A and B are shown apart, each in its own frame.
Chain A
Amino acid sequence: MRRAVKLGLAGGAAMVLVAAIGMVAAFQARMLIDPILPLGTFFLYLVAFIFGWMASKPPVTLEGFEPARAGIRNVLAGAMAGALGGLCVGLLLIVMTTWDLRGVFIALSPELAEILSFGLPVAAAIPVIALVAGAAGALGGAVHLLSPRLRRAVLSALAWVLVFSLFTDIFGQAFTALRLEFLVDFIYTGRGGALTIVGAIVVFAVFFVLYWWMSGRTNTLRQRVQSMPRGQRSRWQIGAAVIILVVLYFVPKIMGPFVSQILVTAGIYLLMALGLNIVVGYAGLLDLGYVAFFAVGAYTTAILTSPQSPAFSPELSVVASIPFVMIAAAVAGILVATPVIRMRGDYLAIVTLGFGEIARILLNSEWLAPYFGGAQGITNIPDLQIGPLTFSTPQDYFYPVFLFVLFAAYVTYALQNSRWGRAWMAMREDESVAEAMGVNIVTAKLSAFVVGAILASFGGSLFASQIGSVFPHTFDIVVSITVLVIIIVGGMGSVPGVALGAIVLIVLPNLLREFSEYQFLFYGVLLIVMMLNRPEGFIPSKRRAQELHSEEMAQDAWLEIYGEKGQPEQVPEGAV
């Protein structure tokens, strides 16, 4: 009860915030389901839904105790939290219609009042708002009533409806490219339009049935693959990889230039994230100036290839510049690492932060303008050319970027179980013990920085040739932070996790142009939620998952192998 009130008020605060910073009004123009559900209203009441769900979450029960059965109480708690949230919004409505607060909160416009009140007069609107928010909260609470299988199917289907309604451009483009225009006409109000009501119902139904049917089956498929003999399993895995590669080959062709450009950007961030993952995730060296290496890659390619390069312009091809890019990155890595060799933790982070800024300021400076072009940057960087192939459009660039990402992922895997990979991890765990166990800390730090720098410089090089120009202001601290957030949210040390992190943090905000203004708000909320609920990231590395429940897993696996051979090994006493 008190929980419901507390969360209701918190939810109300969140709803008021969302309205007051202008998100509701900004999203209102976008229809999700035509004509009943605009994005702004949806977003506002989504908050009520989430808080309703949270308020009715059953309390944690100790192992061995029967958890309280979900029932009408959950729905009531959700409804209560939601309605309280709605009342807060009503309060906002009263305040904003009585006084004009636009001098401080620009977003509190009459249009917002119109949206919030559903066009009703204020006195009539408040009960309506409370009712709608209460209903959203109750729905959130009702989620707990569903059986796990049903819950999964319903929530997944709803999520897909949301995806279909948010990314109309992509689905329109993809369906058109696949000659499925009739589908577009059927579920959307036109290309780039909103879902129709019928369309929304169809999408929901299709995915509901799909998930209902699939639940329980994906696991058995995975188990079946895992229980296969080794040769057969690796054949399956190779087959799966080939299918994925074929699909990826067609992605840019189907998705068109807009989405491809986003994917290329995400790929470049992913390349950097994989590099930083080695520095931070493996070696534990928190580098906040990572963008400097990206800049080194971009500027080296720019200087060596562009005819506009101010001081020195050999006009090499982009491919020919790559070896020099690697050398320059390695030198930069050593330059940054040398002064921080005896530094640890926070000090290292601050010093590298400084280096990142120094790099940007130097590139921007009048003093070095004769070499780097100052604020005007370097333009006219040629396209990537490999033999007869010229890469110019975003669709073309998808492939080389993807190859570099694959290479970086391979390097990540190869180094993980290698002599230096282990030395880096040991250094991360305890630097002085690592040194006492024979690891040369100087070499280990230098090599981690150099490997990370080279991967980031590849990203910079591709970036420069794709955009065709480099400017100092591109290489700002925000890039370093974004890359760091990608690996934290995705899952440090895990390649699939980092890839997912890049998709969530780069692809989504760019696809949803409505959100791009609120990108950093979104990052902040995501980071806080992740740190509270899932600090190991979306897809943690095996090691991190193991930290949570290693003992039973290892023992089970061992018993499976040895127990069946008829030599049950007793767990030695005193070894618990």
Chain B
Amino acid sequence: MALLEIQGLSKAFGGLRAINGLDITVDEGEVVSVIGPNGAGKTTFFNLVTGMESPDEGSIVFGGQELVGLRPNQILQLGMARTFQNVRLFPAMTVMENVMVGQHSRTKAGLLGAILKTPSQRREEREIEERSKEVLSFFGTRLAGYRHDELSMTLSYANRRRLEIARAMATNPRLLLLDEPTAGMNPRETIELTELIGQLRSERAYTIVLIEHDMQVVRNVSDRVVVLDHGVKLTEGSYDEVSTNEKVIEAYLGRPAELGA
């Protein structure tokens, strides 16, 4: 059954049609890569799905619920979390706090509870802490013990990306949207992250949609690849099908000279 079903999605910025009549379906448990040249509308697509921008037309149905018109926090509540292409952590908060914020929508203590330190608030606070540690332990020594109380701004670039994934995991999502998770990583780190994405699916049972430029990663993790160009879907299919598709090669490399003339 389709977890995410998008039909006729369109969004224009002034005269630029960033997304134009897009239909995409993602099934439960799938890993889908969205690729395409720069400016193809990939990040806009993520922004529309997570409610950070509102579409001009079309429908986005997630787990049977229409998302268009909902605020980002409501969409997250339904079980969809994302990371950002340009890593947007809360820089002056610690690693732990970043992950703890992720659990905001899954907990419910109020202000009075915090001031009166009610037993239920303290229990919940402990649970938040435990779950945050558990999520961070997913990254092994990378975000281990001594880093928990560091400000996230002091982390290395690769660790910031990991922390962003941890923060998204802490929201307990069904669908994880990863925006270029390996951008800026060295080859070793890229391989590590590729394995991690595999684990996210096998151990955590997340459905994953990722935007990625590194074709090795795309080949290794995806069940299906969707190619966008100028806001429209060029094609979709397995990595091998897509990578040999003429239209895709054309979009990336341009039209051969003798035909383009």
Assess whether B73 is in contact with A451, with CB atoms less than 8 Å apart: no
Residue among A415, A417, A418, A436 having the largest count of chain B Cβ atoms under 10 Å: A436
Assess whether A441 is in contact with B73, with CB atoms less than 8 Å apart: yes
Q: Enumerate chain A residues within 8 angstroms of B35, measured Cβ to Cβ.
A: none
Taking CB atoms and an 8 Å cut-off, the chain A residues in 243-257 that contact chain B are none
Binds B, one of A85-93, A130-138, A545-553: A545-553
Nearest Cβ distance between residue A450 and chain B, in whole angstroms? 8
CB < 8 Å neighbour of A429 from B82, B93, B107, B188? B93
Q: With an 8 A cutoff between CB atoms, is B5 at the interface?
A: no
Nearest Cβ distance between residue B156 and chain A, in whole angstroms? 6
Assess whether A451 is in contact with B100, with CB atoms less than 8 Å apart: no
Assess whether A576 is in contact with B52, with CB atoms less than 8 Å apart: no
Q: Enumerate chain B residues within 8 angstroms of A415, measured Cβ to Cβ.
A: 111, 114-115
Q: With an 8 A cutoff between CB atoms, is A555 at the interface?
A: yes
Q: Mark A540-576, 1 if CB is under 8 A from B, else 0.
A: 0001001100110011011100100000010010111
Nearest chain B residue, comparing its CB with the CB of A551? B154
Q: Enumerate chain B residues within 8 angstroms of A430, measured Cβ to Cβ.
A: 88, 90
Cα separation A178 to B91 with both chains bound (whole Å): 52
Q: With an 8 A cutoff between CB atoms, is B241 at the interface?
A: no
Q: Enumerate chain A residues within 8 angstroms of B97, measured Cβ to Cβ.
A: 422, 425
Q: Enumerate chain A residues within 8 angstroms of B113, measured Cβ to Cβ.
A: 418
Assess whether B104 is in contact with A437, with CB atoms less than 8 Å apart: yes
Q: With an 8 A cutoff between CB atoms, is B128 at the interface?
A: yes
Assess whether A426 is in contact with B101, with CB atoms less than 8 Å apart: yes
Nearest chain B residue, comparing its CB with the CB of A435? B72
CB < 8 Å neighbour of B144 from A441, A547, A569? A569
Cα separation A557 to B145 with both chains bound (whole Å): 11
Known: A422-B100, A423-B101, A437-B76. A550 touches B158 (CB 8 A): no
Cα separation A437 to B73 with both chains bound (whole Å): 6
Q: With an 8 A cutoff between CB atoms, is B138 at the interface?
A: no
Assess whether A574 is in contact with B158, with CB atoms less than 8 Å apart: yes
Q: Enumerate chain A residues within 8 angstroms of B106, measured Cβ to Cβ.
A: 438
Q: Enumerate chain B residues within 8 angstroms of A440, measured Cβ to Cβ.
A: 71, 73
Q: Enumerate chain A residues within 8 angstroms of B117, measured Cβ to Cβ.
A: 414
Q: With an 8 A cutoff between CB atoms, is A101 at the interface?
A: no
Q: Enumerate chain B residues within 8 angstroms of A435, measured Cβ to Cβ.
A: 52, 71-73
Q: With an 8 A cutoff between CB atoms, is B248 at the interface?
A: no
Q: With an 8 A cutoff between CB atoms, is A122 at the interface?
A: no
Assess whether B100 is in contact with A411, with CB atoms less than 8 Å apart: no
Known: A423-B104, A430-B88, A437-B76. A562 touches B111 (CB 8 A): no
Q: With an 8 A cutoff between CB atoms, is A52 at the interface?
A: no
Assess whether B82 is in contact with A436, with CB atoms less than 8 Å apart: yes
CB < 8 Å neighbour of A437 from B81, B94, B150, B158? B81
- Count A interface residues, CB 8 Å: 43
CB < 8 Å neighbour of A438 from B73, B89, B146, B186? B73
Assess whether B104 is in contact with A574, with CB atoms less than 8 Å apart: no
Nearest Cβ distance between residue A452 and chain B, in whole angstroms? 12
Q: With an 8 A cutoff between CB atoms, is A338 at the interface?
A: no
Assess whether B115 is in contact with A436, with CB atoms less than 8 Å apart: no
Q: Mark A39-61, 1 if CB is under 8 A from B, else 0.
A: 00000000000000000000000
Nearest chain A residue, comparing its CB with the CB of B50? A436
Q: Enumerate chain A residues within 8 angstroms of B72, measured Cβ to Cβ.
A: 432, 435-436
Q: Mark B92-111, 1 if CB is under 8 A from A, else 0.
A: 11100100111011111111
Taking CB atoms and an 8 Å cut-off, the chain A residues in 167-181 that contact chain B are none
Q: Enumerate chain A residues within 8 angstroms of B234, measured Cβ to Cβ.
A: none
Taking CB atoms and an 8 Å cut-off, the chain A residues in 424-459 that contact chain B are 425-426, 429-430, 432-441, 447, 451
Nearest chain B residue, comparing its CB with the CB of A573? B188
Q: With an 8 A cutoff between CB atoms, is B167 at the interface?
A: yes
Q: With an 8 A cutoff between CB atoms, is A421 at the interface?
A: yes
Nearest chain A residue, comparing its CB with the CB of B168? A437
Q: Enumerate chain A residues within 8 angstroms of B145, measured Cβ to Cβ.
A: 558, 562, 569
Known: A415-B115, A569-B141. A554 touches B128 (CB 8 A): no
Nearest Cβ distance between residue B115 and chain A, in whole angstroms? 5
Nearest Cβ distance between residue B232 and chain A, in whole angstroms? 26
Nearest chain A residue, comparing its CB with the CB of B167? A437
Nearest Cβ distance between residue B169 and chain A, in whole angstroms? 12
Nearest Cβ distance between residue B147 and chain A, in whole angstroms? 7
Nearest Cβ distance between residue A561 and chain B, in whole angstroms? 8
Q: Enumerate chain A residues within 8 angstroms of B168, measured Cβ to Cβ.
A: 437
Assess whether B156 is in contact with A421, with CB atoms less than 8 Å apart: no
Cα separation A98 to B50 with both chains bound (whole Å): 76
Residue among A411, A421, A439, A562 having the largest count of chain B Cβ atoms under 10 Å: A439
Q: Enumerate chain B residues within 8 angstroms of A230, measured Cβ to Cβ.
A: none
Q: Enumerate chain B residues within 8 angstroms of A562, measured Cβ to Cβ.
A: 145-146
Leading 10 A-B pairs by shortest Cβ distance: A558-B146, A438-B105, A418-B114, A429-B90, A438-B76, A436-B72, A426-B101, A435-B72, A433-B88, A419-B109
5 contacts between A and B (CB under 8 A): A429-B93, A434-B90, A437-B104, A438-B76, A555-B146
The chain B residues found within 8 Å of chain A, CB to CB, are 50-52, 71-73, 76-77, 81-82, 84, 88-94, 97, 100-102, 104-111, 113-115, 117, 121, 124-125, 128, 141-142, 144-147, 149-151, 153-154, 156, 158-159, 167-168, 171, 186, 188-189
The chain A residues found within 8 Å of chain B, CB to CB, are 410-411, 414-415, 417-423, 425-426, 429-430, 432-441, 447, 451, 543, 546-547, 550-551, 554-555, 557-559, 562, 569, 572, 574-576
Contacts beyond the supplied A572-B141, A574-B156: 10 A-B pairs with Cβ under 8 Å: A415-B115, A419-B104, A422-B104, A425-B93, A425-B97, A429-B93, A546-B151, A550-B150, A550-B151, A575-B159
